[in-house]
Amino acid sequence: MLNFLKKNTFTILYTFFLGLMPLVASSSISYWVITHELNIQNFTFQNWIIAFTIACFTMAFALTPTTFIALLSGYFLGWQAFLPLALSYWIASFLGYKTAQMIDGGRFLNILSEKPKVKQVLENLQKDEFKIILLARLSPVLPFAVTNVLFSFSGTKLRNFLTAGFIGMLPRTILSIWIGTQAKEIQRLIEHPSEGNISQILILGLIGGSILGLGYFVKKAVKV
């Protein structure tokens, strides 16, 4: 165990950093958005291109949660936000995956594969990786940047990662944009992002479906 931690210290710290940063950064960004709401309302097309370009990097490196960006996009742009937001998610996924790949260089997977039982489980999971990625992306509570790292470390095929991840993000993206369009005040939206019975039920449905599906495939991989 100590040997594993020693060989993967930077990898583990990077993953921990990605899990913690959205909580820290989003509060600062929330304050800025609330105090500059009128300025954002007057953004030009070029301003929004710059904003979504920046969002690609902030989502990839866990400075902003994806749901947070989707809520704000829905509030300010309505359904026009869907295409640029979906493209931003795709680019952020690619950036997060490739960055993690460069940082780790396959060490994490190689060390895990040294244990025959763990290697067998990983191989079984890879047989259903498309479905697993899709289910992981479905849940609004699984950190986007952290899952990018974990799938990269586990040797997931990039094509499956991007395709399944994009499909899995669609329901939560549509839901977040819709919640944003229904908000009357930006401050209330940020402080109560899932307010309303319908939105709460839908969010719980996505989380529940994701957990049950992932549980099924993990159980299947361990049993085989």
Residue 202: the pLDDT is 85
pLDDT at res. 19: 60
Alpha helices in the chain (DSSP H): 2-7, 9-35, 37-41, 45-60, 66-77, 82-104, 107-112, 116-127, 129-138, 144-153, 158-182, 186-191, 197-223
Tens of pLDDT along 122-160? 676 778 889 989 998 988 888 787 788 888 888 889 999
Range of the domain at 22: 2-223
pLDDT of 2 > 50? The answer is: no
Average pLDDT over every residue of 74-82: 95
DSSP string, 25-41: HHHHHHHHHHHTHHHHH
Q: pLDDT over 70 for what percent of the chain? A: 79
The total number of structural domains in the chain stands at 1
pLDDT higher than threshold 70 for residue 192:
yes
